[in-house]
Amino acid sequence: MMQDEGRAMVETHLYLREDSIRQSFEGLLTMWRCLSLACEEGLAHHGLGPAHHRILFMLGSHEGLLPSTLCAKLGITKQSLGRALGELKDNALVEQREDGADKRRRPIFLTAKGKDLERELFGAIRAVVIQAYKQVDGNAVDGFRRVLRAVEALSVSH
């Protein structure tokens, strides 16, 4: 009995070994590439790239973000945001409005055209993720989400 418990403990920690972590990271890179490819055509049609897509996604999920908040969520500088944001404005995909309570604040919103594009791109991502989720059970999906939340919490603390 004691031997079985010891073996089970060792087996449960095999995921902490270097080769296992490398496999996990490679899987994340492959996932990112697959999701990016799903959106590539829609982005290219508008002359946009991954940086633009990340902004569109965040604004689609969190309407009316301030530039500083968007930079923090994406881990980018205001200079990087400024370039991509300018191109999105030029394409009439986003707009900045004055905040009624504080005119210095200029939250960013998707335009109707921006919402349409973001929905199209997210639809492509959703289709890929649904296919993957259908290949595993709910426990695997929940475990995957817990790992993502744990990594996200680490990124916030650093």
Residue 99 has pLDDT above 80, yes or no: no
Q: Is residue 5 left, alpha or beta, with left meaning phi > 0 and alpha meaning psi from -120 to 50? A: alpha
Mean pLDDT of 104-116: 94
CB-based burial label for 48 (10 Å; 0-12, 13-18, 19+): buried
pLDDT (tens digit per residue) in 56-68: 999 999 999 999 9
Fold of 35-157: Arc Repressor Mutant, subunit A (1.10.10)
Instruction: Break the chain into its structural domains and give their ranges.
Output: 35-157
Largest CA distance in the chain: 69
| Confidence (pTM) | 0.84
Q: 32, 69 in Cβ contact below 8 A?
A: no
pLDDT (tens digit per residue) in 68-97: 999 999 999 999 999 999 999 999 999 998
